[in-house]
């Protein structure tokens, strides 16, 4: 059993209009299990709150959507124009999984 090193709060906002989430409760349960399990393995006691919001009114969700789309476009189409906007802000880089 890992030693609990610290307690952290984690707030996750997801787009409630996401067409891939047919059952938000199932999605929430999956995320809670994965995130809390990974945190526990690292010795972190995590409090997780998941909120469903509308991306048409939440500018944070719009920004994350654009950022993730720019990564997708870089990988799928070898088009780095949009990712270059963020390139200098990314502190940790790993090979993209394809």
Distance of CA 96 to the CA centre of its chain: 15
> Whole-angstrom distance between the N-terminal and C-terminal Cα of the chain?
34
Q: Up-side HSE of residue 19: CA atoms within 13 Å toward CB?
A: 0
Structural domain boundaries in the chain: 1-54, 58-91
pTM over 0.85: no
In Å, what is the CA distance from 90 to each residue of 65, 75, 84? 16, 16, 10
Q: Rounded to an integer, what distance in angstroms lies between the CA atom of residue 46 and that of residue 5?
A: 11
CA 89 to chain centre: 17
Count of beta carbons in the 10 Å neighbourhood of residue 28: 16
Give 18-62 pLDDT, tens digit per residue: 655 555 668 888 889 998 888 888 888 888 999 999 999 999 999
- At 16-29, the pLDDT tens digits run 876 555 556 688 88
């Amino acid at each position: 059993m890992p030693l609990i090193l610290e307690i952290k709060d984690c707030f996750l906002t997801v787009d409630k209009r996401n067409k891939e989430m047919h059952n938000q409760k199932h999605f929430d349960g999956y995320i809670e299990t994965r995130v809390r399990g990974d945190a526990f393995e690292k010795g972190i006691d995590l409090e997780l709150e998941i909120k469903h919001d509308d991306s048409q009114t939440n500018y944070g969700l719009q920004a994350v959507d654009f950022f993730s789309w720019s990564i997708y476009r870089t990988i799928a189409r070898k088009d780095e124009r949009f990712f270059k906007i963020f390139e200098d802000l990314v502190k940790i880089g790993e090979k993209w999984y394809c």
